[in-house]
Amino acid sequence: MEAANRAARSACALLMGALSLTALSACGGGADEGLPLRLEISHALAGQPLKLGQETALPTSEHLSVDHLRYYLSNFRLHGIDGRWSAAAHSDADARGYFLVDESQPTSKLFDIAGFGKGEYDGIEFVIGVDAARNSAGVQGGALDPAQGMFWTWNTGYIFFKLEGHSPESSARNQIVEYHIGGSREPTPARTVVLPLGVKPVKLDPKLVATVHLQGELATLFEGEPGLRIADKPTIMDPAAGATVADRYAGMFRVDHIHHEPRRDR
């Protein structure tokens, strides 16, 4: 009888171990995470490649030298040619699926977004900023770690978009320009962007690396009506006042080009 009990306990342990491994595979990696899309980002200012610290004439006849540019991208989805959406992988336990783009850090402008299904896609959707659930979740890690310098201590929530620089038209101290847009109060300054991926769809396949090149034109922040004028608003920190800037950065991206390469690790 004792031998039978030991055998039963051993079989149960093996079964539980197999179930645990299955659960870990589903949550932590492998094929269940789907396929990645590689995203490469570049920035321009008034039609010229952005160079930090270089003064540039804006379409408004004002001038701007950008010293720092940082913002969050999150909640990526791809639109399939069959009309269905495929969402990127994310985790409530970490900051997977949230990316902090920093113009001074080239590696932050080239990253893989995991979790998409195999297929062909003709559109991409993402959020500039952090969604409400994460914005109110308190201190987090990874790209959302407060040590990244994008979390307000005096105003609940994250800074979604940060542009700092100088302008001769600025009336602020030392002619600074500072736009810190974010916070958790409604209406949210997070903006959803939907872009077509061009004439030919992006193909996600285990044998390929698909790269989408996005370009962000910062002059978009200052164009149109009601336009943002540095002389009038050289600094914006208040979430309510940042709505105009948020509406502008929602339109700053375009798909520059797309390419596919054979995956070398297969």
- Strand pairing category for 202-204 and 119-128: antiparallel
Q: Indicate whether 1 pLDDT > 50.
A: no
The answer to whether 210 and 202 have CB atoms below 8 angstroms apart is yes
pLDDT value of residue 266: 56
Q: Which two tokens stand for residue 148?
A: 């990244």
Residues ≥6 apart with Cβ < 8 Å to 185: 156, 157, 239, 240
pLDDT value of residue 91: 73
Q: Which two tokens stand for residue 259?
A: 């390419």
- Higher pLDDT, residue 123 or 187: 123
Domains in the chain: boundaries: 1-32, 34-262
| pLDDT tens for each residue of 12-52 | 333 333 333 333 333 333 334 689 999 999 999 999 999 99
Name beta bridge partners: 166: 65, 176
| pLDDT tens for each residue of 139-187 | 688 899 989 999 987 667 899 999 999 999 999 999 999 999 998 888 8
d(CA 104, CA 87): 29
> Sorting pLDDT into bands at 50, 70 and 90, what band is 7?
very low
| pLDDT tens for each residue of 198-256 | 889 999 999 999 999 999 999 999 987 777 999 999 999 987 788 889 999 999 999 99
pLDDT value of residue 36: 96
> Sorting pLDDT into bands at 50, 70 and 90, what band is 127?
very high
| pLDDT tens for each residue of 72-117 | 999 999 999 999 999 999 876 678 899 999 999 999 999 999 999 9
d(CA 233, CA 171): 9
Handedness of CA 259, 118, 115, 82 (dihedral sign): positive
